Structure 1
């Protein structure tokens, strides 16, 4: 890792962006570009992934409570809400993470290191822009959100 590189950590709940800054004068002068420290430059929380399902849904039946009660026939109609809501929320958050990462990479226009849990890594990278994918030097498929930033340098 060299001065100016970006490290992006993401999971379904949060995104952190670090920039590699010189630790000493030798690194700043370019003599030892590997002597870096990471400074947090951006932090974003994804509220939708933190919400509980009972906060999003109600326990009321659907719009057509009694169904069709025509002459001689009775159908139940809708008795609940969408069962795929968890997957839809997750996909929306993944799409938002991919958009945010793409914006950061194209804005900074420097080499980037990514770290995301393996369950979302492939889905996020598929949704990133082609220009952003070109700038990614290495992707680590682990949730490193709680890892100390001094340990992150060794991983990349």
Structure 2
């Protein structure tokens, strides 16, 4: 009598794919958290503001909804977006929509100008950190003050 076939273990490639997917999810979650930590420390802007942060080792970024106060934005309100501006992962709260400036953020991330992008009142800034991008976009002349990190940033009108 012949034995029934034994189920085979996952192949090394399948195990590698599972690990890579798990690492990617951790990187996305950490990016959401880092973005919201920066939002909690941000100064309030007079106009709706959005900020995004590139996910390490991925062609993705996390973006906030439009918010007059970023202090209350948490990871559950952020969305995952690809570099073409398409939503790759909705906000966990299922109510928040990505910023209306998502396309402009995607273009800035695609250009590779900086890891973080902020937009406010038709202005867009990119920098190495979310805090620096937010400061640059909300500062009247678009440049960081001497009390903040000196980012490589660029501001432009999105209108």
Which TM-score band applies after superposition, normalised by the shorter structure? Answer: 0.3 to 0.5
Q: Which is higher, the Rg of structure 1 or of structure 2?
A: 1
TM-score, length-normalised on structure 1?
0.35
TM-score, length-normalised on structure 2?
0.35
